């Protein structure tokens, strides 16, 4: 796994944890949840593009 892929995977996990915490709050903010989900999807897309890129080995 490349360093960039590891960082993206870690960021995806952090966003997942933020989303979990946000959903358990007393006053759920739907805009914050939407923002976190959008960021998480962007990271997932970058991971997918990175995995499709041919390696330079």
39 vs 2: CA distance, rounded Å: 21
Written as six digits, the tokens of 38 are: 């959008």
Say what the pLDDT of residue 1 is.
Answer: 75
Written as six digits, the tokens of 23 are: 């959903």
Say what the pLDDT of residue 56 is.
Answer: 55
Domain ranges of the chain: 3-51
Say what the pLDDT of residue 55 is.
Answer: 65
Axis-axis angle for helices 30-52, 3-23 (nearest 10): 160
- What phi, psi does 50 have (nearest 5°)? -65, -40
- Whose tokens are 């897309």? That residue is 45
Blockwise average pLDDT, block size 10, the chain, 57 residues: 92 97 94 97 95 71
Say what the pLDDT of residue 52 is.
Answer: 86
């Amino acid at each position: 796994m490349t360093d960039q892929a590891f960082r993206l995977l870690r960021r995806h996990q952090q966003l997942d944890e933020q989303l979990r915490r946000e959903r358990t709050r007393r006053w759920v903010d739907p805009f914050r949840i939407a923002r976190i989900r959008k960021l998480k999807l962007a990271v997932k897309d970058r991971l997918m593009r990175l995995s499709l890129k041919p390696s330079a080995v």
